[in-house]
Structure 1
Amino acid sequence: MNKERPATPQGAAMPVRADAQRNAARVLAAARRAVASTGLDVSYHEIAREAGVGVGTVYRRYPERDQLMAAVLRDILTELISTAHQALGCDDAWEGFSSLFTDLALYTAQNAGLSGSLDQHGGPAVAQQRHELLDLTRQVIERAQDQGRLRRDLPWKEVLRLTGAPATQGCVLGLEPDPAHGHHLALTVLLDGLRTD
């Protein structure tokens, strides 16, 4: 005799199956990689192929493209906000600053084109996260300046803009940039130029 499955209380959320949770994580990770390499116009078919799932799985999870873009942006911003909080918790203000600066530079290089789309594609939730990250970044920069570890002649916004410099390396006099070393070298030079000691 088959036992009836207990009824879900009215208004209670249905439990998410473990495989569905795994698929959701795979889709989001694949979307991040695909958007970073292809841009915002990446197709659901490309994301599904990257995730190793059927395209229907992507559509069920994110029926609207803006939902997918918002999820990608929220995921990235959540990581950066966590890094910023850790940076503020460092006893050594320079160590905290350089850690956040490096992560922001890597984010910019790996996600070219996304920064200008934060509010347009993310909606209020992403806009709120962006403003939170900006405020935390300002605190990290000004803390390092107050401790005399970071040069004070640059406003915090100008310091932040420098995180995009390594990503803008292009061909100079016919010499192509070296992707293996160019970004790391530019980042090292930038940090050395910002440090006061």
Structure 2
Amino acid sequence: MISAVDRLLADEAGQIPRADARRNLERLVTAARSALAEVGVEVTAQEIAQRAGVGKGTFYRRIPSLAALLQVVLEEVLGDMIASADRAIADPDPWHGFTDFASVYVRLRAESCGANEALGGADIPGLDRLLAEIRNRIRHLVEAAQHAGELRRDITWQDVAFLLAGVSTDSHTIGLRSGSDQWSRNLRIVLDGLRDRDGS
């Protein structure tokens, strides 16, 4: 898969960037990824530039627009998720593959506000194809685990998509504060409920 940096460089009409220009672009992409994780899709160009240690002018010399930067970074993040799903599909043990992917998927939703918003349907142009690919892979993983008698057959793959989305929680509820591993504990409980213990 083409990296976010190379995608942005490809938009520069074949010009070969100077080494310092590429370094600035790499810093902007890294800053955008961390800002998306912490702030979400409402992050500003100013904040990304500050995190990258460059001026706003450098931001707009290197990046066509904030929307374009967020799109390519989220495409890279979701592309990594699809690659994880493909490794899970290739696992000879369907339940192991499914649970491995579920862990990657839920961890990313818990740790990245931007990825969670993108997966939750935030209006971000250009992501429809990747979201469709993720849906297809979740369906494949669920159906393979069901066919192997490892995952309950009374549950649809759409049910699983909603259950996994609900595993990551807010940091507070009814006066309680979650630990950093709360998503992992929630996931173990959900997976235990999905497991077909009878093999029926």
Name the structure 2 match of 1:9.
Answer: none
Pairing of 1:68-147 with structure 2 (within 5 A)? 68-109=69-110, 110-111=112-113, 112-117=116-121, 120-123=123-126, 126-147=127-148
**Of 14-23 and 129-138, the range deviating more from structure 2:** 14-23
Unaligned 5+ runs, structure 1: 1-11
Superposed displacement of residue 69, structure 1? 2.1
Change (3 A) 1:63 1:153: same
- C-alpha RMSD of the superposition: 2.1
Query: Residue 119 of structure 2 contacts residue 131 of structure 2 at CA under 8 Å; is this kept in 1?
Result: no
Partner of 1:194: 194
Q: What SS does the aligned partner of 1:165 have? A: helix
Q: Deviations over 1:36-69 (max 9, x none)?
A: 2112221112112222333333222323222122
1:152 match: 153
TM-score by length of 2: 0.81
CA distance in 2, matches of 1:94, 1:46: 42
- Could you tell me which residue of structure 2 aligns to residue 42 of structure 1? 43
Deviation of the 1:33 alpha carbon:
1.4
Q: How many residues align?
A: 182
Cα deviation code 1:53-98 (max 9, x no counterpart)? 3333322232322212211220111101101111111111111111
| Identity percentage of aligned residues | 35
Q: Distance in 2 between matches of 1:24 and 1:81?
A: 25
TM-score (norm 1): 0.82
Give the aligned partner of residue 16 of structure 1: 17
Post-superposition shift, 1:122? 2.3
More off after superposition, 107-116 vs 184-193: 107-116
